Structure 1
């Protein structure tokens, strides 16, 4: 047997390398034949044609090189109508070929030429992107590559720093998408002191036109303001001047969160007193609906400085403003740290009861009568505290979110199986009545849970009867019945 096997292996022909065969063939051809082959292929392959044309123009030199590349950029970025995400792949492929050819200009002799071409290409693509669905990010990544080429070319060619600063500033403030960074910090090596100074001059002229915003001013997004502010912030960060950075941030105090950003700047600078002052100023400027991140910052500082009553009170403000589980957890954390959670918990649960009652009592033209109280928040809190008795009581005191009832049933399964069964049976009809295949699948999962519990208790016949009951009740829902048929019965 082994001999036959060895003979079979030895008899196999060695697989030929097709590329090696092609290479061997081409090595035997004259240059004229090879040229004809390449030209013939280029006539059928637009990318190869474009690549060969740009290489030829570059070798020929002169102003035709710039014209050829600009023409190639125009062709690659020309669009008619909207391009969806499927078509954007072809757009990206054509653009990528041009960028690959541009990369060949990154040499000491042609880097200066590349600078202008890269700028032209970036502006063309950014303009085209307004009509392209680039969900997969392919076009954007090519633009970034073009931006990297531009930066490298500037560092290599060392163009006139003032002229470069002016072009960079224009690009940074006018690019629709801002995919590439043209900030002074990014181009610091290429700009040098002279270029950086000119860049700052241009920025400060525009910055002087930006009007301050205070609390009470309506926030309206302004792209020009955003760009100039970003430029000024980057310049301040580069210089390490904290006072300047704070002054820039202070130009817009229309949101409480902006006070927090300034406070965090001072914390990073080791100026904790100034940080606290700015945070408290933000709280005073926005006494209602303050950003909770600012409040959390203050709570942490107050606890650190043993201003415990203020820390607890500020946490209570958040909970009273929005009685959610996350705020309850936050209150619990602060109160436990202060050793006062038992009494604070009692107060918090009393507040939850008030909120539930108040919401149920609301009437209007669409709800002329008070509604059944919704105890979802109380159940949610009890589940977080692992208080199953309280959760069970709350779940039966009024209505409750379906997902919370299922979560409670899951927790009850190990020790209170009958209660878990009751909750599962309660929610299954509502799920099935959603009348969609996803809901049907969810319902069947719960039915299987019921089956598991009952079979473990030797209640197989009861489970079978339950399945029959479901089939009768939901007979018109054929897709559900098909799924139900796959569930084991008696």
Structure 2
């Protein structure tokens, strides 16, 4: 038993370059893995756990060292780790020491192996798992947050800790751990959305809406903004606060005008007395913006209102067209022809356009 770590070291010694002799060395390593499995039946005890840990460390060193055969080594490492988990379940070593060893193994070897805490549930017990959690959380908390627009800095140490925390969160079902992991990378609006969605799904509505607000502030109307708005609207409607849903949409429109959010606002308030003044505010904002995007949105909004509205919208059309002519004088004639052609069967509208000098 005691010679097995040396056998592994000898088999690994020539794997750094070339392929000569690798099949034989792989066979020797596989034989070690098989012998450890046999010893678990014939000679279980604390010494076996120690030998398995030495073998695992050497194999993981081989994977991390970037050997040509690291894929084969990773598979062998995982096999021996499974044996280690079964040995610990039977022998029950000191749980706190086991927690430290498992954590150190992963942090020093980001590429392999992948420790599944479920396999160590009995051996770790409550004390070992609590120690594992506390130490992992303390290490992870010290990592800097990747801010919005920054490039993720996933060095090997960060990657290893991230994997540890993800497995810990999944095993324990601890939502706060999951949120801690997600909120370490806020490089895009989609990450804010992930955090808000998890909070919403676990009934933490107030926190979810605060994360939506933070996300919308960060993205400035781009990227994940429509999805963030959707989540906020759905949540406010579920809570029975539709006026807050409207305000979220209004702020999103003012930050970056778009037809999609305009239609969302329209659907929420079109049948209320709030709609006429709110629509006037939104269109006035487009007129003041005056850029290419604002003009394009304005044109599409007018078409929507003519298609979905009634006589009141036709009465307002002259004012909207005056604003559009001022915003885009060179292209206005073509746009007016488009309106006339699209609504050629609407005599009332065409007469109104003629009466207003269009």
User: Relative to 1, partners in 2 of residues 1:167 and 1:94: Cα closer, same or farther, differing over 3 Å?
Assistant: same
Q: Which structure has more RCO (C-alpha within 8 Å, separation ≥ 6)?
A: 2
Maintained 8 Å contact 2:145/2:184: yes
CA distance in 2, matches of 1:108, 1:155: 16
Decide which of 133, 153, 177 is 1:220's aligned counterpart. 153
In the alignment, what sits opposite 2:130? 197
* TM-score with structure 2 setting the length: 0.58
Stretch deviating more after TM superposition (114-123 or 225-234) = 225-234
User: Relative to 1, partners in 2 of residues 1:214 and 1:80: Cα closer, same or farther, differing over 3 Å?
Assistant: closer
TM-fit CA distance, 1:261: 2.5
SS of the residue aligned with 1:66? coil
In the alignment, what sits opposite 2:233? 302
SS of the residue aligned with 2:39? coil
**What count of residue pairs does the alignment treat as equivalent?**
266
Deviations 1:4-57 (CA, angstroms, capped at 9, x unpaired): xxxxxxxxxxxxxxxxxxxxxxxxxxxxxxxxxxxxxxxxxxxxxxxxxxxxxx
User: Relative to 1, partners in 2 of residues 1:108 and 1:261: Cα closer, same or farther, differing over 3 Å?
Assistant: farther
User: Relative to 1, partners in 2 of residues 1:298 and 1:105: Cα closer, same or farther, differing over 3 Å?
Assistant: farther
Query: Where does the alignment leave 5 or more consecutive residues of structure 2 unmatched?
Result: 268-295, 304-358
TM-fit CA distance, 1:318: 11
In the alignment, what sits opposite 1:262? 195
RMSD value, Cα: 4.4
Larger radius of gyration: 1
In the alignment, what sits opposite 1:368? none
Decide which of 95, 112, 115 is 1:181's aligned counterpart. 115
SS of the residue aligned with 1:79? coil
SS of the residue aligned with 2:216? helix
Maintained 8 Å contact 1:161/1:192: yes
TM-fit CA distance, 1:227: 3.0
In the alignment, what sits opposite 1:76? 11
Maintained 8 Å contact 1:73/1:98: yes
Maintained 8 Å contact 1:212/1:252: yes
In the alignment, what sits opposite 1:115? 49
CA distance in 1, matches of 2:99, 2:27: 32
Query: Where does the alignment leave 5 or more consecutive residues of structure 1 unmatched?
Result: 1-64, 321-330, 351-490
Maintained 8 Å contact 1:88/1:133: no
Maintained 8 Å contact 1:88/1:139: no
TM-fit CA distance, 1:177: 0.6
* TM-score with structure 1 setting the length: 0.44
Instruction: Report which of the two has the higher share of helix.
Output: 2
